[in-house]
Amino acid sequence: MSSLIHFTKMHGLGNDFVVLDSITQQVKLNPNLIKRMADRNFGIGCDQVLLVEPPTLPTLDFNYRIFNADGKEVPQCGNGARCFGRYVYERGLTGKKQLLIGTQAGNLKVDISDLTCIQVDLGEPIFSPKAIPLNIKAVSKLQKRGNYKIQLLGNNREVVILSMGNPHCVISVPATSEAAVMEVGKALQKHPAFPKGVNVSFMQVLARNHIKCRVFERGVGETLACGSAACASVVAGIIHGELNREVKVDMPGGALTVRWENEGAVFLSGPAIGVFHGEFCIAHQESY
């Protein structure tokens, strides 16, 4: 493997990524290398590292892998999927505008017909505790689908728990500006209900077609945006009868649009921006 690896820095509303192409170069990742790349002082800096791989099935265009800043691989990232789609098109890896991409969470459909607003089909929400995964013994099930009561920091909180290819816990709050994002987010990573951690959304309903959301991502911390969390929050609001089927989601980094029609797939739309291309030194002792 070369001592230098070519990368592209991208972001979706400030949720930032290092994108690596393993089709035209040899890429061998490990947790330490991912952590070094993600480090904002000594590396490139990012929330996630995204890996473009050749398809493993003839029906797919590419495979898509996601690694959090802590080095752990995760199955899904909605903002990353939009950046992935723009990357493979603009780097000449495909000429198609409708892509089918394989992930650990299943196949994603990415529509890059409009590069200013890319749409991702994230599939149907998952409520099965085993599939989320959720330790059902550590929570109390409530009547509505996906609704639970959970013991958290000495209080019982009503939450919505589901998967959008990765686990999400959605908490309704009066104002996102006052939400204890770090305290609650860190506490839920250690909660016995979530054996593989959880992405935590703090949702404030502004209108039936408009919410605010802040997110604590597992393995990262609070991020400026999270696409799958935006989807999970809208699904939770629809279940509670508070939201319409298409909703604008304001996050610290900007706005996304989420649509959930007829209890089927959830569609996420928003920007994907390239920042710069570069080379990263693999060996510690090397410098520019």
3-state percent helix, strand, coil for the chain, nearest multiple of 5: 15, 40, 40
Q: Name the residue type at position 60.
A: L
Which residues are tagged catalytic?
Answer: 77, 226
Contact indicator for 123, 183 with CB cutoff of 8 Å: no
Site of tokens 């939009």: 82
Give the separation between CA 121 and CA 238, rounded to whole angstroms. Answer: 18
Where do the H-state alpha helices sit in the chain? 31-38, 78-90, 181-189, 227-239
Q: Name the residue type at position 208.
A: R
Q: Name the residue type at position 72.
A: K
Q: Name the residue type at position 6.
A: H
Coil, strand or helix at 160: strand
Give the separation between CA 288 and CA 242, rounded to whole angstroms. Answer: 54
